Structure 1
Amino acid sequence: MPVRAALVRAAGRALRLGFRTSAVDPAAVRSIVVIKPCCLGDLLLATPSLAALRQAYPHAYISLAVSSWARPAVENSPHVDALIDCEGFAGQRWLRWSAYRRFVTTLRAGSYDLAIVLDRSLFASLAAWRAGIPLRVGIDSGGRGFSLTGRVPWNQERHETDLYLDVMHAASVPVSVAGQPFYRPAAIHQMFADRVFEEWQLNDRGPVVVIHPGGGSNPGMKLEAKRWPATRYAALADRLVDTVGAQVVVVGHASDAPVARQMRMAMRHEGPDLVGQTSFGQLAAVIERGDLYIGNDAGTTHLASAVDTPVVALFGPTNPTVYGPRSEAGAALFHADACPLRERRALGAVSACPGCQCVKAITVDEVQEEAVRLLQTHVRARRTPTERT
């Protein structure tokens, strides 16, 4: 264990002596705040927990503290009554103390009975304590959750969705909701996808394969080592066009434009390029209409799983056991032996060794094989606008 982590753990154990644990009495809970600042993929992985919370507390007022970056993942959630801005410290390496104090003030003004902290940050759990919230249940990562009244230790390799559900269980929430993330695009976003499919005549030909070659960048972390090479995505796309008649749609955030351009320039076949041209909801609708999604470990990949599209996810150096797709129509490709950090990956901060080559161990042949398998075993009836209404 690194020296810093050992010191934090020891300090947490000492400090927790000043905080008493207590069970949550559902009858005494009328207002709840869930603190999960970042990021898009993590919020999607938390959707089963939000559903379970609403089911357990149908009459409680539930707020969700989230950053503007991750807000699109939950802004239309039927399980949340209000969203609270926690900008300024969410996912940032350095706190903006003025913003943090405003956040604590906002929490205090809410007079919440229960805070559920789905974040490993010391500052997230401390904010609930400083706001005077009597019941505080959350993740205790390496001693950082010392101020919580209900601590769920993060001490084993466990899928992130299941870890969040463990926290819910500690908050007296019966975990009967399936742990599959979900997101449903609004009708207006489905109309956008309809136009894309009509303009490119995607409804009348082979399977639609949506590819996201970017990712690895958000307010809390920049880890471009998670990206499979753009030239390999190009080779894969051309092979799928040649072998199964696939129609390839390239998607991504505006920041993914350089890697998407590199992929497009290396391809022989043309197709829709929607990089930087969609909102979160529009992107979800396009992926939902597709027959298959392929991408790196990124928020867009979690979105594909959340809209129930078959997924081939490419991992390294992050761990698919913790972040991989949950459904039967999801495949995670990963070479654990390619990474010297594999023993730290599950419980330490996600990082990459110098010159990280983990994801590059995945070959084009491997991805093509999984893609074809999913296209053959999970044939989807493509919904037209008429069939949806």
Structure 2
Amino acid sequence: MPASPGYASGPERGPARAGGVLVCAMNWLGDSVMSLPALRAFRLARPGVRIVVLSKRKLADFWRLCPAADEIVELPGTLFGMIRLARRLRAERFAEALILPNSFRSALTPFLARIPRRAGFRGHARSWMLTRVIEPPADPARRHQCHEMAAIFGVADCPLEPPRLAPPEEAEALARELLPGPGARWAALLPGAARGSSKRWPASSFAEVGRRLRDGFSCRIAVLGSAEEADVCGYVAASIGSGAASLAGRTSLPVLAAVMSRCAVVVANDSGGMHLASAVNAPVVALFGGTDPSRTGPLHARAITLQGAGKGRRDIARRSRAAGRALRGIGPDQVIEAARRVMSQAPGLCQ
């Protein structure tokens, strides 16, 4: 049953199932993927607990791919809807809320729902709504964001495995239609990034890489992105020419995951799509400019990260000249060599 705003998908709701854990999920796709290792470790540590994920509507389909989540609740977009949802959650009698985003609003819903234990990071004048304030890990060896999530889940000392998602069969079937040709070798390019131009490698460089993957590696090229990225994806596909197609806006998140899982290589900016590709174990070349891959890089071994000159930071402005210069410092030759290396580890022919 698809979840609607304020409705928990899954078994019948009610006080009889009291005592579960509400996970207030991250607001962006990449951050959500990076929280999966901690959620899985939490599920293994507490196998009998009921886990309900509170998610923005745009990410609900992503969370339905996650086997560790028992139910999904979609977060309403209005204050009135959030207050009404809090009343419904109060009737569920959750024992604990784990608040992953570091925002005021993310802490407000479980506070209004009167969930007795509420854990999250301090900041944004919200500490008074938390019953347990979590400190980020101080160990330099645990710089990656996945370890911050583990601290909130209380599994900091548990082993964390890379995120693993399996698209459902209906998504796989649609992916086979979008990437036709039994035995054909497909490569995916993701020239967009929701954060903006500061995370986008030049579209002309993506087009050059696409032509070289087609001509040198016999790849067909799928240019992927959201509907908002249709212009840049269309430009890249048109610049590549024959053998390339833009699928921007034509895939749900499960279908996007299934498409990338069928590709010999995925070349992507530091973006949610890059992390999703890694989560389905696709070979990935990830392009970083001003951001820091030691904190937010892909977690799978089948990924190569390239970073331009300059010191990576965790947060950058949507428009950053320094980040743009760093990205332009990555040349197509470097990307092609990285693609060659990662494809040599996994041929990735479509079936």
TM-score by length of 1: 0.77
Structure 2 residue aligned with 1:366, among 323, 329, 334? 334
* CA shift in 2, pair 1:163/1:102, >3 Å: same
1:284 to 236, 241, 257: 257
1:161 aligns with: 146
Superposed CA deviations along residues 144-171 of structure 1, whole A, max 9, x for unmatched, are: 445323322237672222211121126x
Secondary structure, in 3 states, of the residue corresponding to 2:73?
A: strand
* Higher-Rg member (1/2): 1
Residue in structure 2 matched with residue 315 of structure 1 by the alignment: 288
The CA deviation at 1:104 is 2.9
Query: Residue 166 of structure 2: which of 171, 184, 203 is its match?
Result: 184
- The one of 97, 101, 107 equivalent to 2:83 is 101
Matched, 1:225 2:198: yes
Within a 5 Å distance, the mapping from 1:1-389 to structure 2 comes to 30-88=19-77, 96-141=78-123, 144-154=126-136, 158-169=143-154, 175-178=158-161, 180-197=162-179, 199=180, 201=181, 203-204=183-184, 207-216=185-194, 222-337=195-310, 342=312, 345-346=313-314, 348=315, 351-353=318-320, 356-357=323-324, 358-376=326-344, 378-380=345-347, 382=349, 384=351
Identical counterparts, % of pairs: 27
Size of the aligned set, in residue pairs, is: 330
2: distance between equivalents of 1:106 and 1:350? 37
Partners of 1:350 and 1:112 in 2: CA distance: 37
Q: Distance in 1 between matches of 2:263 and 2:321?
A: 36
Question: Which secondary structure state, in structure 1, belongs to the residue aligned with residue 72 of structure 2?
Answer: strand
Q: Any gaps of 5 or more consecutive residues in structure 1? A: 1-28, 89-95, 217-221, 385-389
Q: How far is the alpha carbon of 1:194 from its aligned partner?
A: 2.5
CA distance in 2, matches of 1:374, 1:141: 40
Aligned equivalents of 2:144, 2:26: Cα separation in 1: 19
* Pair 1:169–1:355, CA change in 2 (3 A): closer
Q: Is the 8 A contact 2:265 2:348 kept in 1?
A: no
1:162-220 C-alpha deviation (Å, 9 max, x unpaired): 211121126xx862341x122110011112222334x3x2514xx4211111122xxxx
Q: Distance in 1 between matches of 2:125 and 2:79?
A: 22
Q: What letter corresponds to residue 203 of structure 1 in structure 2?
A: G
Contact preservation (8 Å) 2:96, 2:115? yes
Q: In structure 1, what is the Cα distance between the partners aligned to 2:33 and 2:268? A: 16
Instruction: Check whether the contact 1:202–1:208 (CA below 8 A) recurs between aligned residues.
Output: no
| Mapped contact 1:137–1:150 kept (Cα < 8 A) | yes
Superposed CA deviations along residues 9-64 of structure 1, whole A, max 9, x for unmatched, are xxxxxxxxxxxxxxxxxxxx931100115122222222222222222222222211
The answer for the alignment partner of 2:7 in structure 1 is: none
Helix, strand or coil for the counterpart of 1:85? Answer: strand
- The change in CA–CA distance for 1:120 and 1:350 in structure 2 (over 3 A counts) is farther
- The one-letter amino acid of 1:75's match is R
Aligned residues of 1:293 and 1:312 also touching (Cα < 8 A)? yes
RMSD of aligned alpha carbons: 2.5
1:61/1:81 contact within 8 Å kept: yes
Q: Is the 8 A contact 2:189 2:224 kept in 1?
A: yes
The answer (yes or no) to whether the contact 2:279–2:300 under 8 Å persists in 1 is no
| 2:260 partner amino acid | I
Distance 1:266 1:247 in 2: 14
**Aligned with 2:23: secondary structure?**
strand
Deviations 1:278-328 (A, max 9, x none): 222111111111111111112111110000011011122332122111122
Mapped contact 1:255–1:276 kept (Cα < 8 A): yes
